[in-house]
Structure 1
């Protein structure tokens, strides 16, 4: 294709022949997506309904859970549609919308994890100033900056990619990818590449560096603290570290899939590696925090206990 204006759609060539397993795979993926949305919605409801959880860390967790729903919704509906179809095409504008949503999801994830690290840093290193530094206004500001900053950072690649002249419209993945579209370009991509490095440094390396900085100080405090303080710090920091490592590994898998030749790897493995950062973190985050944070675990039991009591009363009344 000589010019980008001739590209009205992209072909996702990452799909392999599903044959008779099509409907089974569709059911499994649909169930997986339903569990992701359901688990994250449940914890958002639990946090919003429990007054004991109306604190900065839980506000950041709600933002994290909302982002998990946002990111998985940018992937799964289109993925489910393509599982049922033999032709895997995506309209030009929808492809760029998916790129924006997926990349902004990743950026928000790193930003929120960095904000959560700052929360733990203030709570453990400066407990007397914690509520002063993380008052309602500052919490809302941090969440707003995380989301708006992610949107601004990721709208720029879309504006830079649309003028490019493309020589192909085949994307070797099951979803749209900015880097692979830039690789199709017949025209100069210097500006795209420079901004890509800048955006990666800002959206990935800067949050990770900040998180490492906060944890160095947290560890220093923990080494000289009492056993009770160490235990409390570990109980709140471990889930955050697991989330960070899990998501970072997922992003690394995605980078490997996009940047390096993996033709020797079986198609199923390539697809699973490319989907990890969009499927496992959204599923594991509510489980990690729901099971490891005692306040959330207790609030879940209390809320569902009340729901069960109400259901039991309704059933008794109906019988009478």
Structure 2
């Protein structure tokens, strides 16, 4: 597009679209032709056709050459050349041979249109693109190359090639100037680079909202996976059975309709809730060869597991408060721990984690992600946040707020209550200390067990995926999902004589007989 020649052909018979002229343009070096059917040859029409049709696609030429027609010599055409930075040249008077390139193209174009046009000659503008297609695909005598090869760096597929294929002896690059070969090499390199970049862009765009996540910690254990499946299924059945026994005992035995036992049954319900969010999918992944989780199911699992984890600690905190009132203020216990107040405490213990974790998960869902691989055996919030393509400061602040309000403050409150209980017991009789220890010991064991297992999970966020052994990562991840749901019914069922007695009575006589 260094030098372009332009000319106007016509007038032709007016077409059904109202066109009467053809604006022809050709690049001097590549012989690439352009032709536009126009209704008139006014300067505005000519300039608009060139800008919108040729220069907008290939860029402005350095020099534009024309005859001395008034449309090309007008102020409108001169202004267009000035705005686009093109130099305007013209033919000498009475010597149109200086524009011979486009004049020869005009003759060829006229002959081709005459062959293709129907008898009424009012559809010639419909055949114009086909004539250009043929001309651009024809080898030029002066360059020994087609205009398409020199302009685009590739050949245009013609209808003959589509129908019969390319001749087997046709060289990839026809004989011609060295420029054509260099151009094709450059274009091939550019096309390969462009295809690679487009592929990366497509992958990046699709990964902004990956339809699934891949859990990468699962290994292929061959036949051993069936053994692992049986062990995990047995663990899940044990968790469900043990917690259901405690829940049923508290529900059916009226003597256990007291705040402490209600809180214990709520703790068991929460264990069932958390186990239901983890074990079914985990058991499926043990037997599966592909460990892919859909985006929606992954975020649902994150929400279930995180609300379980937060509710577990808030319920343990309420149980510590209950023991504090019962031991330190025994005369005010029944007036403070009313059934209505128990309901309020449980609503707060459940609704606060549900709302806060819901907000944190909302921030995670809105993040554009640059990957879909999670270094876990179940969906977890922090590994998903680490896949983000953008800044995650807001997510970090929300996560820190959740950690402080749902973990650190409840832990300090539990430690404070037991410090007060310890001070009270130190001033009382040994019999009083024995009874206090009997009611507090199961809660202390549950609290310590859960705190340690939760600390194992939180410690994983301090390490990169490749810094820990996968087996250690699996063990630390599973601790707070398996140990507390197993530990709570065993500790409270065996540690509290009231619950133990009811459970043994049920096992001997059956719930139906007791009712």
Structure 2 length as normaliser, TM-score?
0.59
Indicate which of 349, 366, 374 corresponds to 1:171.
374
Distance 1:262 1:8, change over 3 A: closer
The unaligned stretches of length 5 or more in structure 2 are 1-202
- Secondary structure at the counterpart of residue 166 of structure 1: coil
CA RMSD of aligned residues (A): 1.5
Secondary structure of the corresponding residue to residue 2 of structure 1: helix
User: What does 1:146-225 align with in structure 2 at a 5 Å threshold?
Assistant: 146-225=349-428
- SS of residue paired to 1:90: strand
Equivalent positions of 1:1-320 (< 5 A) are 1-3=203-205, 5-261=208-464, 263=466, 265-307=468-510
Aligned partner of 2:168 in structure 1 is none
Q: Which structure has greater strand proportion?
A: 2
Whether the 8 Å CA contact 1:254–1:274 is kept in 2: the answer is yes
Q: Distance in 1 between matches of 2:505 and 2:305?
A: 35
- SS of the counterpart of 1:167? coil
Who is 1:313 aligned against?
none
User: For the Cα contact (< 8 Å) 1:11–1:170, is it kept in 2?
Assistant: yes
- Structure number having the greater helix percentage: 1
Q: Quick check: 1:16–1:267 contact (8 Å CA) kept in 2? A: no
Q: Which has the higher contact order (CA 8 A, sep 6+)?
A: 1
TM-score, L = length of structure 1: 0.93
Where 2:510 maps in the other structure, the secondary structure is: helix
**Distance (whole Å) between structure 2 residues aligned to residue 138 and residue 74 of structure 1:** 29
1:268: how far off? 2.9
Contact between 1:174 and 1:271, CA under 8 Å: does it hold in 2? Answer: yes
In 1, Cα distance between equivalents of 2:237 and 2:505: 24
8 Å Cα contact 1:2/1:165 also seen in 2: no
- Look up the SS of the partner of 1:19 in the other structure: coil
Deviation of 1:5 (Å): 4.4
CA contact (8 A) 1:121 1:214 kept: yes
Query: Of the two, which has the highest radius of gyration?
Result: 2
